Chain A
Amino acid sequence: MSAREEILQRVRGAVADVTTPVGQRPVAPARTMHDLSDAGALELFAERVADYRATVIRVATADVPATVADALARLGCRSVVVPSGLDPAWTAGLDAAVTVLPEVEATSHAQLDAVDAVVTAAKVGIAVTGTIILDHGPDQGRRELTLVPDTHVCVIGADQVVPDVPDAVARLRPEVGAAQPLTWISGPSATSDIELNRVEGVHGPRNLVVVIAE
């Protein structure tokens, strides 16, 4: 018998006492949705992101390009990689101060390792947990873009922020066959492995800047 058949036979035999049909679990009591107005959710999102020692900047949509340029300058970034589908306006004025590397030209890990920063959009934000979620669409780039450089500047629209985890999950259901990856980010990378001291920037980005466009 193949391992597959044997394991399936074993697990089926092991629960031979079970009589409820598949999928009929007790109905979970409705989760009290966090009663947040859009403004309240945004407020909480900004507060919780900052709580993770990420930088949060709230600006009018028109001011995004200047804000991005300013954030990169303040962190001393001299080179930046940009996903192919990113709104070109957001990085239009950067050329003067910073070397801009389009995603398609960053083909090796080593190239990315030499870049200081990445600028991306996001898919969803969660207010209660201060989480940004990337689905790696064209405006967010391949997963390694937001992983290898030291600084990640992420622009998220106010309308992309939902109250809580179940709301985000509901917006993100992947289609079978698409193999869509997701990355959930709550603050910069961190460890507490040395005597429980929190240290930021272990392997992923050390700096996370979240720009909320309203």
Chain B
Amino acid sequence: MTTQPSGPVGASPAAYAPLQETSPTFVGMPKFPKAARAELANAQQRKNLRHATHTIRTKRGNVVREIDDWEALRVAGADLKDEALTHLGDYLEQLESSLTANGAVVHWARDAQEANRIVLDIVQSKHVDEVVKVKSMVTQEIELNEALEAAGINAWETDLAELIVQLGHDRPSHILVPAIHRNRSEIREIFLREMGQVGRPAPADLTDDPPRLAEAARLHLREKFLRAKVGISGANFAIADTGTLVVVESEGNGRMCLTLPETLISVVGIEKVLPTWEDLGPMLQLLPRSSTGERMNPYTTMWSGVHEGDGPQEVHVVLLDNGRSHVLGDRLGRQALRCIRCSACLNVCPVYERTGGHAYGSVYPGPIGAVLNPQLRGTASDIDKSLPYASSLCGACFDACPVRINIPELLVELRGTVVKNAGNTPESAAMKAAAWVLSDPKRLAVAQRAATTAGRLTGGKPLRSIPGLGAWTNARDVPSPPKESFRQWWARERGKGDGR
């Protein structure tokens, strides 16, 4: 696969191949509209998702409003990530040298296969048949658990939600709350049925009371934490000038995995680098508030190598590319690498709210997944071709994003790539028509008048489908057109005089 990203591209693009390989799990995954239709049929999931996203959204809004200069923080966050990304080579070298000075061993991996090989070699040298893991997107991306299991090593996920997903032989459906599609009685059944197969069984009188379920997980996992010899993690941030790695979490399973085992292996995407220690100031304000809607998450662990007599006495860091340098070569698209995986964009996305994470066919769901997956994997597969369309372009994701990634802009750009590569399809024709309308203010005004006329005619009911856009609207609730366009409202309310 050597598809190059569209749009302005950095120098000598030929140097960046190969892209990230599409995982075999996702090859043959139906494209988004089809997968979404199946997920939409799942009423329970829709209900859970709606509840979850709305709850987190409200909490986030409240704690963001507490900060009077939130916008300045967002700008600082975007700037510092851009600084790290545009001088990534220098900062990676600095990170390597400070980590090494702190007693850690640094490895480099071009792709998933190479990273898995490195981790497996270290694990096997310790003669163990199990490892404990902190929830980490990057190890899901490279399918490390599967690689370890193929070599006869059990990888225990220790985040409660990941445990539910793992015991349920399932896939995560949200970055932050991966088991959001499961309700308490399902969780109880999974615990009763599965825990005994892999360790301490759930108590026979287990109820579906959340504190009882959490207690069962605590007992089941504590046994594993206390005996584990090897822990595996990702990192939220890797600070170049001090060589510090950072993991933010809530449950304490992170602290357990990061400090109890004798050996710690952290797989870190190269885009996780922050230039300086002081950059933690803005980041540790932006991340928890955007992510869980808290002023600060319960636990943050920072480590920078081997601290004598405290914690793991052997620390490995695997710096992973796996398509990231390729994304970096796209001048417009590189902003997606600022992503700190807070999941704020998922929680505000009307498409995600209805379909859940599985429909995106990747570990990165929601708006950022719709951007990142086709960037990392190219647009050759059906799923990656359809992902740029898995959005209503309402712009809520951009407003929510703590590092100001312009997701709608990137989606439009990627749609262009798909259309260019695919020739004419009904979707491309519809999108071209939209581009024709949107590119000229006069045409847009005419179209909006037409749409608001339709709004008066439909009496504000959601449209089930739009003529000519049939298949495209099947799996989407198209919002009812407003009775008055924004432009009409603006002209009426602020029209003359106020020239701002």
CB < 8 Å neighbour of A144 from B52, B68, B213, B259: B259
Most buried by B among A28, A130, A166, A187: A28
Whether B331 lies near A129 (C-beta < 8 A) is no
Please encode chain A, from 130 to 159, with 1 for each CB lying within 8 Å of some chain B CB and 0 for all others: 110000100000111001000000000000
B149-171 contacts to A (CB < 8 Å): 158-161, 164
Please encode chain A, from 105 to 118, with 1 for each CB lying within 8 Å of some chain B CB and 0 for all others: 00001100100000
Whether A32 lies near B69 (C-beta < 8 A) is yes
Q: Looking at chain A's contact residues, is the secondary structure mostly helix, strand, loop, or mixed?
A: loop
Number of interface residues of A (CB under 8 A): 76
Whether A174 lies near B251 (C-beta < 8 A) is no
Closest to B56 in A: A196
Whether A183 lies near B82 (C-beta < 8 A) is no
- Nearest CB of A to B43, in Å: 16
Whether B253 lies near A197 (C-beta < 8 A) is no
Closest to B15 in A: A13
- Nearest CB of A to B460, in Å: 31
8 CB < 8 A contacts A-B: A10-B15, A14-B10, A14-B329, A29-B76, A183-B300, A195-B210, A196-B177, A203-B158
- Docked Cα-Cα span, A91 to B305, in Å, equals 32
Q: Is A16 part of the binding interface, using a Cβ–Cβ cutoff of 8 Å?
A: yes
Q: Is A97 part of the binding interface, using a Cβ–Cβ cutoff of 8 Å?
A: no
Contacts of B259 in A (CB 8 A): 143-144, 147, 181
Show the binding face of B for A, using Cβ within 8 Å: 10-12, 15-16, 48, 51-52, 55-56, 68-69, 72-73, 75-76, 79-80, 82-83, 85-90, 92-93, 98, 101-103, 108-110, 114, 158-161, 164, 177, 179-180, 183-184, 187, 210-211, 213-214, 217-218, 221-222, 225-226, 241-244, 250-253, 255-256, 259-260, 270, 275, 277-278, 280-282, 284-285, 292, 294-307, 309-311, 319, 321, 325-326, 328-329, 331, 334
Whether A113 lies near B222 (C-beta < 8 A) is yes
Contacts of A201 in B (CB 8 A): 214, 218
Q: Is A99 part of the binding interface, using a Cβ–Cβ cutoff of 8 Å?
A: no
Q: Is A96 part of the binding interface, using a Cβ–Cβ cutoff of 8 Å?
A: no
Q: Is A39 part of the binding interface, using a Cβ–Cβ cutoff of 8 Å?
A: no
- Docked Cα-Cα span, A6 to B326, in Å, equals 12
CB < 8 Å neighbour of A169 from B55, B281, B297, B306: B281
